[in-house]
Structures are given as C-alpha cells and as structure tokens.
Amino acid sequence: MFMLHQRLQEDTVEIISLALSRVLLMNDASFPWLILVPEREGIQEVHELNSGERSILIEEIAAASNIMQRLYSPDKINIGVLGNLVPQLHIHIIGRFREDRSWPGPVWGSGPGNPYSAGELNIISARFREAFQQQNGFHG
C-alpha cells in the first residue's frame, strides 16, 4: 500500500491526484514549488517505474510545468529528482526568478523556508488545484 514519506507529509500540502502522481505544494512561499510523487510503493528511482508509468510521469511533469508557467511566468522552471534525504521517488518542479534568494544556484540550502500563512496556503492550493482540473486530460 502506498504511503507518503513522513518528511513530504510534514513539508507539503496535497493539491490533487493525477493518473500516476500525487501533486503536492511545498510550504515555502519563497518559490512556487510543486512536488510530484508517483503513487507506487517502494519506488526510489525513475528507472524502477515501468515504461508506461515513465511516459505518464513525463506527461505529468510537462503538465505541472505548463501550469507553473501559466500561473507564475517564472524566468526558469527547475525540475529535480534528488532523493538524498527522502528516498521515496518524488520530482520537484520549482518556478525560479532572477530576483529569488537562490538565483542562480539551487534552492536547497539557500536559507530557511518561508511558510505560507494559512490563508495564502488555501488560495495557492486552490489556484493550483483548479489549474490541474482545467488542464486537458487531468481530472482529480
């Protein structure tokens, strides 16, 4: 049975479930930051998914990136699959801006997180959820 890693539960808010992945919002207002977690038990690496699942994952990453671009118009979208601290396969999709605290470096280790207020979290979550629901082919 699929269980979301404890650290992801603590650091994120669930947005929607897609065909393969659960979409999470990182609770850090410093960056628009989504995390896709393929809902497959015991998977740590992309190559462990079967070929059909890998294809679905790429489409979900593209959809999330498209939504990030539409909602935030970032200067760049960073996509990362690290897993050094959280071994469960998860993909970071982060909108980056030339004026953000980490530009041009990575977001990790660039400073403490800046959690959303409860009101902001509700608004941002709803905005992403609606965008995914409107995205052609993705209905949660």
**Which pLDDT score is estimated for 111?**
84
Collect all residues with Cβ–Cβ distance below 8 Å to 86 and sequence separation of at least 6.
Answer: 5, 7, 8
8 Å CB contact between 79 and 93 = yes
pLDDT tens digits for 7-62? 999 999 999 999 999 999 999 999 999 999 999 999 999 999 999 999 999 999 99
- Reduce the secondary structure of 15-65 to three states and give it as a string: EEECCCEEEEEECCCCCCEEEEEECCCCCCCHHHCCHHHHHHHHHHHHHHH
Give the pLDDT mean for 90-102: 97
CB-CB neighbours of 137 under 10 Å: 9
Model pTM? 0.94
Percent of the chain residues past pLDDT 90, beyond the cut:
91
DSSP 8-class letter at 127: H
The dihedral sign for the CA sequence 130, 31, 65, 24: negative
25 DSSP β-pair partners: 13, 34
**Domains along the sequence of the chain with CATH:** 6-134 (3.30.428.10)
pLDDT band at 139 (very low <50, low <70, confident <90, very high): low
Amino acid 137: pLDDT = 58
pLDDT of amino acid 7: 97
Residue-wise pLDDT tens digits, 63-80: 999 999 999 999 999 999
101-133 pLDDT, tens per residue?
A: 999 999 988 888 899 999 999 999 999 999 999
